[in-house]
């Protein structure tokens, strides 16, 4: 298949490109710096400044599948007014322009989304049937509008899938930030540690993206999380055990709030999310369903 990927130089994108190359698909990439992306990934790449220009027609030509991962990192620094605008526009505006420029050859549009579409409170369990209210916070607004823009591709007769991604475990993302602290024995739960953490191994997430792109049964929103979510305290204990380090040092909620402001919600919110559609509609087979095994696999790879 001819596949165009945005955000391909990021944590998830790198793994996805590698998998699709192994499967002998024809890959193209849209990136802020096309030349650098091409050198890094070993595939043709086109430069695109989504804020100033439409998606380049030459990149979209003959494309059958678009996988849209582009988006500013929500976990880097405080959410100032300017930063919020960058986080929002990098997802919503870019999706809007890709939908507008979709070629006649396009069969499927797979767009990233996130578990941030859910309220992030308490022990209530959520699946894909949840309806986002009109008045919600920043993260829910982003995810709702992101999916709404992607869904407009359906008006062109194109199948659309929105991948609501949880906390991805691999050689990047949250784990990358936690490892230095845990390795010196200073890791532990964040806040009271009771918040739910919907994790997923990078290999399973890549498989979900590939399957969603190629299997025509897949459509609409899909929760890309392990069927076995854990509380943050359990996660910290498992990570400490995998590293043979103690994990008893909590980070109080007020410290995160002072340091990160509104962005502290990324660590403090509780997301009890279940991958209902993957399990019940598509019978997707997860490779990693328990956290200790997932961590053991990641650390065995160095």
Q: Which residues contact 52 (CB under 8 A, 6 or more apart)?
A: none
- For residue 155, pLDDT over 70 is answered with yes
Residue 146 to residue 271: CA distance in whole angstroms: 19
Q: Given pLDDT bands bounded at 50, 70 and 90, which one contains residue 146? A: very high
Q: 78 and 263 in contact (C-beta within 8 Å)?
A: yes
Stretch 105-116: mean pLDDT:
98
Residue 273 φ then ψ, to 5°: -115, 140
Q: Cβ contacts of residue 3 below 8 Å, gap of 6+?
A: 20, 25, 26, 27, 28, 63, 64, 65, 66, 67, 213
pLDDT greater than 80 at residue 74: yes
CB 111 within 8 A of CB 146: yes
User: In the CATH scheme, what is the code of domain 2-169+198-227+270-287?
Assistant: 3.40.50.720
Task: Enter the DSSP assignment of 130.
Answer: P
Each residue of 239-258: b (16+ CB within 10 Å) or e? bbebbebebeebbeeeebbe
| pTM metric for this prediction | 0.96
Sketch the domain layout of the chain as residue ranges.
Answer: 2-169+198-227+270-287
């Amino acid at each position: 298949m001819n596949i165009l990927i945005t955000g391909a130089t990021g944590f998830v994108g790198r793994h996805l490109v590698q998998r699709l190359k192994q499967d002998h698909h024809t890959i193209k990439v849209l990136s802020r710096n096309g030349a650098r992306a091409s050198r890094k990934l070993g595939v043709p790449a086109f430069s695109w400044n989504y804020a100033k220009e439409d998606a380049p027609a030459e990149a979209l030509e003959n494309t059958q599948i678009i996988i849209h991962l582009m988006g500013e990192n929500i976990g880097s620094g405080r959410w100032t007014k300017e930063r919020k605008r960058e986080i929002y526009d990098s997802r919503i505006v870019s999706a809007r322009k890709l939908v507008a420029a979709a070629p006649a050859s396009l069969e499927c549009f797979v767009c990233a989304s996130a578990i941030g579409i859910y309220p992030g409170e308490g022990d209530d369990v959520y699946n894909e049937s949840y309806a986002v209210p009109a008045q919600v916070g920043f993260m829910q607004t982003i995810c709702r509008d992101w999916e709404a823009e992607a869904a407009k591709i359906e008006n062109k007769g194109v199948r659309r899938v929105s991948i609501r991604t949880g906390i991805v475990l691999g050689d990047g993302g949250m784990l990358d930030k936690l490892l230095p602290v845990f390795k010196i024995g200073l890791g532990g739960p964040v806040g009271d540690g009771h918040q739910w953490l919907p994790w997923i191994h990078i290999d399973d997430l890549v498989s979900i993206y590939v399957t969603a792109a190629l299997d025509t049964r897949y459509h609409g929103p899909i929760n890309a999380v392990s069927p076995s979510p854990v509380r943050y305290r359990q996660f910290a204990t498992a990570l400490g055990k995998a590293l043979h380090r103690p994990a008893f040092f909590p980070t109080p909620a007020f410290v995160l709030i002072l340091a990160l402001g509104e962005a502290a919600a990324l660590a403090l919110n509780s997301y009890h999310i279940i991958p209902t559609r993957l399990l019940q509609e598509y019978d997707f087979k997860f490779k990693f369903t328990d956290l200790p095994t997932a961590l053991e696999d990641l650390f065995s790879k160095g």
